[in-house]
């Protein structure tokens, strides 16, 4: 639990890479990586950040993210500095933009990699020359101004990782990392292990449920009743405990699940509601399975490399599935999937998710049938 997680790689061959690297790579000494939000997207992009570190092992690398994601990089040796500038702060955008421009100009970067690739980042990068800041190479995974290198393929409809990997390929950088990579400080890992021991949670003896989402994204929630039914089914088939992970926005959902399971299986549910973001990795690393909605912390959980099933309905499983060889997305056949709406026009609750039955999820887990493909359509 104390050791940092090792990179997960597709393949090796450092000597061959050096022989085929573009000439401009040799002049890269300082790198700025930009990835602002959302939390899950930042976690997902750490696989690309690792590929950049492997491609430029001797370069100084800085990360620009929003303050909400800064905790993910509390002890990350890849980055000498994290620029956590809230460029989206209400009422302060001009001031924060000025702070951003000054910080980037002072960085004297040779390479800028824009993993956000929004109109906002493109505008700020485009303003840099007006301050006398000319970064020689600028990578973006959506093509055009202000990038010097960008995708040679269309990115519409692609999973973000596929689009970012295409960007790396165009820049002569090998994509080798197969899942997100975050470093958990030993103090946080030890505290997570102590917490598991206090609750009597043994390795592979429990499943982690992540039943929530941001309050504004409630349509992505599978529902407390279905999670409770799934929990009971797994406990009846020999699982020792259910662990609920959810913070303030998910507190009510977790309380309903806990109460429902406790009625038939008292003492078998634990709600961990005060975890540091990186402690989620340590807890999930000891779980037998992880079951989650399409939520940001599912991408954080994917770091641990354990079997993870993500339940999708109004969002496209092909585009939102967390990265990893043991990650599966589950989606029911329905005429209105992938609407990305905030409210369901057909019912008070999302019917696309209601079609995913707890018994089917349990069967996939217990029979290991979900290893057949990374996206299962019921």
DSSP letters spanning 189-228 = HHHHHHHHHHTTPPTTSEEEEE----GGGGGG---HHHHH
| pLDDT tens column, 128-184 | 999 999 999 999 987 788 999 876 666 667 889 999 999 999 899 999 999 999 999
In the chain, what are the domains? Answer: 14-170 (3.40.50.2000), 186-377 (3.40.50.2000)
pTM for the whole structure: 0.90
Q: Among positive and negative, which fits the CA dihedral 104, 110, 113, 117? A: positive
List, for residues 338-374, the tens digit of each pLDDT value: 666 677 776 666 678 888 999 999 999 998 654 445 6
Q: Which residue has the tokens 């996206």?
A: 375
Average pLDDT for the chain:
88
* DSSP code string of 48-96: HHHHHHHHSTTSEEEEEE-GGGGGGGTT-TT-SEEEE--TT-TT-HHHH
């Amino acid at each position: 639990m104390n050791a940092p997680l090792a990179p997960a790689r597709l393949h090796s061959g450092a000597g061959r890479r050096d022989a085929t690297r573009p000439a401009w790579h040799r002049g890269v000494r300082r790198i700025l990586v930009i990835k602002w939000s959302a939390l899950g997207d930042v976690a997902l992009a750490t696989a690309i950040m690792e590929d950049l570190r492997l491609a430029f092992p001797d370069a100084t690398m800085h990360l620009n993210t929003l303050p909400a994601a800064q905790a993910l990089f509390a002890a990350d040796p890849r980055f000498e500095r994290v620029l956590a500038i809230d460029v989206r702060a209400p009422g302060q955008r001009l001031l924060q933009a000025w702070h951003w421009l000054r910080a980037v100009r002072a960085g004297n970067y040779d390479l800028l990699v824009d993993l956000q690739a929004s109109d906002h980042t493109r505008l700020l990068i485009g303003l840099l020359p007006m301050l006398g800041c000319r970064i020689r190479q600028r990578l973006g995974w959506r093509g055009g101004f202000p990038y010097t290198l960008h995708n040679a393929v269309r990115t519409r409809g692609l999973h973000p990782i596929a689009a970012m990997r295409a960007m790396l390929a165009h820049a002569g950088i090998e994509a080798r990392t197969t899942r997100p990579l975050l470093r958990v400080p030993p103090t946080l890992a030890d505290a997570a292990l102590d917490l598991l021991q206090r609750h009597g949670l043994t390795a592979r003896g429990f499943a982690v449920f992540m039943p929530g989402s941001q309050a504004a994204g409630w349509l992505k929630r599978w529902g407390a009743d279905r999670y409770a039914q799934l929990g009971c089914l797994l406990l009846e088939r020999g699982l020792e405990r259910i662990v609920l992970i959810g913070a303030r926005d998910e507190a009510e959902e977790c309380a309903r699940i806990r109460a429902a399971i406790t009625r038939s299986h008292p003492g078998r549910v634990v709600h961990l509601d005060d975890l540091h973001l990186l402690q989620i990795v340590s807890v999930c690393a000891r779980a037998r399975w992880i079951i989650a909605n399409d939520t940001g912390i599912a991408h954080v959980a994917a770091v641990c490399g354990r079997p993870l099933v993500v339940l999708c309905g109004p969002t496209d499983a092909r585009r939102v599935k967390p990265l990893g060889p043991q990650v599966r997305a589950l989606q029911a056949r329905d005429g209105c999937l992938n609407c990305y709406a905030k409210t369901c026009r057909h019912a008070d609750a999302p019917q696309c998710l209601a079609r995913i039955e707890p018994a089917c999820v349990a069967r996939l887990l217990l029979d290991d049938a979900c290893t057949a493909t990374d996206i299962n359509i019921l």
